[in-house]
Structure 1
């Protein structure tokens, strides 16, 4: 193990290509200098070649392990572990032997005598082929997990930059450079921010609906995954900024490696479906009854194969007739074969296949046949929030603008749950042209914005940050700018024609990037009149601190007094209480340093823009104009679906990696909790749940439960405890973090649109429309199929027994 200064790395005896790795160093809880010292590396020079070789012997390659799956023969044998299948196999063998024996006795074997055993054999072979195919398909989840790993990395070694080093060659202590669009190759500690802002999309791993701002500052050692803001994780993507990182974990020690292990463990502990359990019970009972009855039939006829000699009317001696004994044994065996419903496996497979067809028509694509009937037995649905209960598309829900006087605000409710500019409207919107204040809000939303919206396959998708895309959709709902010069207006066919018109009227000449300190983004624009102005959007409190005036309805500017400030903060508090993400807007017309600036690199003002430390001073003495509240809105049909679940006796639990307040607000809105229900005992973080003494008792509570900030292991543990308590659990999810729980659940349900390939491969069913209500419809269909199969099993069993009794006189 490496010493504190890093000198002892690799100095131990090496007996294999990979030895046990040292204990995890909590790099997220230590300062950068301490991390560099621990790993014995400098961010400027990186590791030496000898250090790399020593560490590779300890840690191995940076890749996920290949778990050796079961052999094809073990999979085939596994298909005959079912009690009913074994009964049918024995029945088929006995039928074949009897047919052959009868043919030998009669001197000629009729081909029709072999039809029944051959049909049974054929049914069992087809059943085994389907089972082997499904079992073999289950391992694809682990392969899909490998595909999201990065293949190359830009690494600093031996004081040189290697731009395309294979990612599998990384070792702890390596210095890696990340930029926009890069996929993170290992778990790493951020040691230096090159850009002012670093954002990563890690929703697939953590369940967060927004890109996460990263820092190089230490966080508490007991922080959860979401709280490790100075760490970047393998498989996540950089969406903004660039940085220098230090590799801390590789291969199976990364967070994605832990998910890989959890998926593998879950795949090893898969249980029989409810129907299979009942069929096994039915098979065992059938075996016992048939065995007892056939033994009685054979024993009753003992007198016929014992020829007694009588003396004075009393039996004194007997002769054993082997021929008659065999004859009556054949009768008993024939009765046993006749009593077995050999058509049952074929009927079950056919019913399930027809069920998958019906479910596909309702956007539920079944990947494994048994999951059809498992749905019908579901008692608990553990649902992810983002993308399942919500649209996974940010939308503006509320707009607050300035009024006609300093002490007044105007509130507008905004409809719409997607990125479609035509989805919903703004309530109480003024008729005719927008007033000056609303126009300024629209201008800032459109121009101080790097996102876009595109139409793809009959749906609208965001290009760039979801919040910025939502602002552009708001601008389209607000309408075009009220300008006299229409010559620059784009064609009416453009999707974001209002935004484009604003950008044509006010051309951006400089950008003041967002950073975590001032929490705002600004752009300097040049209008048609040649006037320069600064447009800013960001955190409301921060903009208010840097503002000294407000713009009223008619465009006039007045001083920002205490009364106006209090009103704005009150509106902010109300929207934040409703779990809305709030953004404020402000502008500035007086820019003396940039009066003649037009993007020229030789202009003195250009030097100010090169240093982000100057941005705060540029964004001073602003004029505040309004704010908006955004959210990932719930799907409109989810509330009714949850009511249907409750009526059907199915409990709904929400398990999400997202923020607790946001998740609680959504659960109130969709009906998991009542509007005024006290949920303090029903809403826990994943960490709080794991600290409970009696977790099973907590899960038995009536009504809905919410688990927020849940990590993959938390989700898996909740599913495991529910199953141990006798519940039939359906688990929904779309991210890598959901895959272990999807695999462990009685039925895992992945999202078809937003779901990762890892989640889809780990699931039993895929939703084509990512809609929770589709699950409820599929459960109803599953119950119908399950009840129909139970009825048919009773019918075919009674039919076999009735034929048996009629034919043989029993």
Structure 2
């Protein structure tokens, strides 16, 4: 009934026919429909749409076969929706706009993004920030009380400002990262769906599917909306995403024609008419009840760094506590003096306000040490480098679905790649045709009866389609299907519509990766015919006869079978995919009793050779991987000869190479014992005629041997291997939705060269984070040591709370931004893979950290204890020199951190303008702090000579780094081996 309303709504100018679908309430409904129809203006369009949506959506959701039968089944609903099962909707702008207005769009409201205020509040939850704010408030209060508003606000106010800057920068960084991730999430959910409009198959965004659309479904596709099955064969759907059950559901036009949004096609193919979209679907109802998870995705490396941060923070807390205790003891025992040399504490003679103010200052100094010690810049560096890398990778045709994949890819040791569309262009063309023992490359001079059978075998046993207009012909389907269809149209003059009109399809065996063939049983002129199409050697094994040029049937003895095998091998050796066609007349009773199409006693119709050329640049990409120490293995469903030929062409195998153990077939690999597989799997370069199980077995074996495995795939059958792999890489063009959802990264152009780009970026992410760890640890070790030694020996900290907060701000945030945005360098591909068990903090990093930290500690302590005498300056100028020299050391050491091992730290510097800009901003801000914000930063202006001293001290870190990098380091971690053992890994 609701379908009739729909028809009226969309095409009110056509006459109504109620008699076929009136319910028991026919009088009531009839009057309502007549009122709506007679209004002509449809003033209550919205109300009508609500009624239609309610009834149609509930019909499908409740799987109401009785109500569906009253509407003459799926075809009756399609007719009422003004949809032609063959030609779909008109699809013009007016039609689409009317349907979207009436029934809504196929979109779901995205959960609200976290606001900037949310991240500000999160930053305020940091306990050290709260303690600092409390200290700042007390210092501000006592300062104003003692010195008045004009000068009393400096100490407390400066801490407030510094804390405000730290919170602001942290909140802005996290907010931008959240927005970036939300944006990428929306892009990843925008998939292409094949629909039929005006008789033409075309791809549209899932968001543009409308009620009434005829959607084409193939294995691995996602059902884009709720709807009804109208035609197809052997369609099976995985409804686990809706029901939680793993059972596969058969879809049939009579018993179960209902299809639900979000489910996946597990087998077969078909068409559906869309009845509900967006929030009116069952999936939409579920989405409306799901609230956004408050927890952000945390990558494994972020988790490891958070543990590292926690441990360093605990060390900083212990140092801060010791400093607090020492300073308190020195203060209350009268061992500290003010600027005028007067003891700060004189027992009862000291004012209570002075005592509290001094204690607050000591606590603030201790808390600030904790703030500096905690390297919150480490997680920030990961966030920044991942966000930057994800954005750049998107421009390089790689969409990251899971953050962890960025960093894990840098550790990859093996890439298991498929062939079609990844190594090859997936632009297939039939270049050879064999009938009997005769080969045709252009033109076909064969018997008419054979041509008719070939037209049937191509036109009926396919999931593709042909759309012909007066000016051009368009083919749809998989690349293989399109190649065969275009060949049949061009060489045999096949008219697909004419072929279908003359035959009735009774049963279909859909193609899948296990069988590697598809079959169809058809009825023509009261006769039953079976057609099979698939991998040549498998179809040949089903045949007992073959047709010659005149269409005569000849027996296929062992000698002739061997000749056909040689033909197949010859085409495969020429990098041709060989597809065979077979036919026989059948007995319908076989279908009724066994529910399967006959497979024995077939007659070979012919063989076609399909050329799929290698992608330009793929050989260079494979060589780049091998040069980087990453093993490339090709896993394909093609026969061993085609696989070898493509592998040689791509550089995976080399001419003259001993292929013993390098090339295996899936069946052979499957037959190995577990021990044999573990022994041989590393040597395998090519696996031919593989099944999904073979691919999964190989990944599992490699992982057990300690490899970090990346897998490329595009089919539903690849999903288990994509999930099992450390990094799953699906194809954005030919990949099914099941494959994409099982993967971590989507290669948008299906090109292996983009896989190499992902590998480079993965290594770059890991390397950038290591650079920042080295840089950050140097700052922490130097600051903690200098403040602790000075506090214990002299009873004061040379770096004040505001100064340490400033160092924390520019070193953590600006330093992370500078080092996290380094782009991939060629040197990254010259190293062996990091692997699964490499230490995060390498010996090289420890060597660099300790050398620079010791240098900074020595120089700063000399300035602290001898600066006044050596340079003849006041204590305040000396303290400013210590602060300024410390910052300059970090500025120059930032250049050293760019290269962990190379001595030339300026290589490629001109390409990273952001790094140069950040360093420039840091220097300018430091000049402002020292020269202009004296009261805020508790500094004294420096003359040019004193600035030269500070810059010179910082610049000495360059030759020191050059010399230190000459020192060889052992492979086994020698420092912090026990402490950091739990952070080892990829």
Question: Residues 144-183 of structure 1 correspond to what in structure 2 (within 5 A)?
Answer: 148=223, 178=252
Who is 1:194 aligned against? none
C-alpha spacing 1:696/1:570, structure 2 compared with 1 (3 Å): closer
Who is 1:354 aligned against? 388
- CA RMSD, Structure 1 to Structure 2 (Å): 6.9
- Tell me the CA shift for residue 106 of structure 1: 1.1
C-alpha spacing 1:348/1:537, structure 2 compared with 1 (3 Å): closer
Which of 639, 651, 670 is residue 688 of structure 1 equivalent to?
A: 670
Q: Does the 8 A contact of 2:699 with 2:709 survive in 1?
A: yes
Question: Residues 563-602 of structure 1 correspond to what in structure 2 (within 5 A)?
Answer: 567-568=563-564, 570-572=566-568, 574-575=570-571, 580-583=577-580
State how far apart, in whole Å, the 2-side matches of 1:455 and 1:334 are.
75
Task: Tell whether 2:666 aligns with 1:679.
Answer: no
Who is 1:99 aligned against? 136
Who is 2:750 aligned against? 770
Question: Residues 324-335 of structure 1 correspond to what in structure 2 (within 5 A)?
Answer: 327-335=361-369
Q: Does the 8 A contact of 2:466 with 2:475 survive in 1?
A: yes
SS of 1:732's partner is: strand
Who is 1:238 aligned against? 268
State how far apart, in whole Å, the 1-side matches of 2:265 and 2:406 are.
33
C-alpha spacing 1:335/1:519, structure 2 compared with 1 (3 Å): closer
Of 115-124 and 798-807, more deviation after overlay is shown by 798-807
Output one character per residue of 1:759-805: Cα deviation in whole Å (capped at 9) or x when no partner.
Answer: 43444322211222211112213323443343344335545666775
State how far apart, in whole Å, the 1-side matches of 2:316 and 2:127 are.
13
Q: Does the 8 A contact of 1:181 with 1:239 survive in 2?
A: no
State how far apart, in whole Å, the 2-side matches of 1:722 and 1:283 are.
32
Who is 2:767 aligned against? 787
Which of 458, 465, 477 is residue 449 of structure 1 equivalent to?
A: 458
C-alpha spacing 1:113/1:331, structure 2 compared with 1 (3 Å): closer
Output one character per residue of 1:209-228: Cα deviation in whole Å (capped at 9) or x when no partner.
Answer: xxxxxxxxxxxxxxxxxxxx
Task: Tell whether 2:290 aligns with 1:276.
Answer: no
Q: TM-score, normalised by structure 1?
A: 0.51
State how far apart, in whole Å, the 2-side matches of 1:750 and 1:575 are.
29
Which of 625, 629, 632 is residue 609 of structure 2 equivalent to?
A: 629
Who is 1:751 aligned against? 731
SS of 2:134's partner is: helix
- Tell me the CA shift for residue 331 of structure 1: 2.6
Which of 283, 287, 290 is residue 313 of structure 2 equivalent to?
A: 287
- Tell me the CA shift for residue 688 of structure 1: 3.3
SS of 1:678's partner is: coil
Which of 352, 376, 380 is residue 410 of structure 2 equivalent to?
A: 376
Q: Does the 8 A contact of 1:88 with 1:340 survive in 2?
A: no
Unaligned runs of 5+ in 1: 1-48, 50-70, 73-78, 156-165, 187-203, 206-233, 242-266, 310-317, 403-407, 413-428, 476-495, 526-533, 588-606
SS of 1:581's partner is: strand
- Tell me the CA shift for residue 677 of structure 1: 1.2
Q: Does the 8 A contact of 1:96 with 1:114 survive in 2?
A: yes
State how far apart, in whole Å, the 2-side matches of 1:654 and 1:685 are.
16
State how far apart, in whole Å, the 1-side matches of 2:422 and 2:255 are.
26
Who is 1:470 aligned against? 483
Q: Does the 8 A contact of 2:135 with 2:360 survive in 1?
A: no
Output one character per residue of 1:260-306: Cα deviation in whole Å (capped at 9) or x when no partner.
Answer: xxxxxxx9xx9964642553464245335534544554465466235
Q: Does the 8 A contact of 2:722 with 2:739 survive in 1?
A: yes
Q: Does the 8 A contact of 1:549 with 1:558 survive in 2?
A: yes
Q: Does the 8 A contact of 1:512 with 1:609 survive in 2?
A: no
- Tell me the CA shift for residue 375 of structure 1: 2.8
- Tell me the CA shift for residue 102 of structure 1: 1.5
More strand by share: 1
Q: Does the 8 A contact of 1:401 with 1:438 survive in 2?
A: no
Q: Which has the higher contact order (CA 8 A, sep 6+)?
A: 1
Which of 386, 398, 412 is residue 364 of structure 1 equivalent to?
A: 398
Q: Does the 8 A contact of 2:546 with 2:554 survive in 1?
A: no
Unaligned runs of 5+ in 2: 1-65, 67-110, 113-118, 145-151, 192-205, 207-219, 231-238, 272-292, 336-345, 510-516, 592-596, 787-797, 801-859, 862-986
SS of 1:766's partner is: strand
Q: Does the 8 A contact of 2:576 with 2:612 survive in 1?
A: no
State how far apart, in whole Å, the 1-side matches of 2:244 and 2:380 are.
53
Who is 1:760 aligned against? 740
SS of 1:649's partner is: coil
State how far apart, in whole Å, the 2-side matches of 1:182 and 1:466 are.
31
Task: Tell whether 2:331 aligns with 1:305.
Answer: yes
- Tell me the CA shift for residue 363 of structure 1: 0.7
State how far apart, in whole Å, the 2-side matches of 1:169 and 1:800 are.
53
Q: Does the 8 A contact of 1:750 with 1:767 survive in 2?
A: yes
Who is 1:396 aligned against? 430
Output one character per residue of 1:499-538: Cα deviation in whole Å (capped at 9) or x when no partner.
Answer: 685659x99984597989998999999xxxxxxxx99997
Who is 1:651 aligned against? 631
Q: Does the 8 A contact of 1:89 with 1:120 survive in 2?
A: no
State how far apart, in whole Å, the 1-side matches of 2:770 and 2:495 are.
65
Output one character per residue of 1:19-73: Cα deviation in whole Å (capped at 9) or x when no partner.
Answer: xxxxxxxxxxxxxxxxxxxxxxxxxxxxxx9xxxxxxxxxxxxxxxxxxxxx99x
Q: Does the 8 A contact of 1:509 with 1:523 survive in 2?
A: no
Question: Residues 138-149 of structure 1 correspond to what in structure 2 (within 5 A)?
Answer: 148=223
C-alpha spacing 1:633/1:326, structure 2 compared with 1 (3 Å): same
Task: Tell whether 2:142 aligns with 1:116.
Answer: no
SS of 2:126's partner is: helix
Who is 2:35 aligned against? none
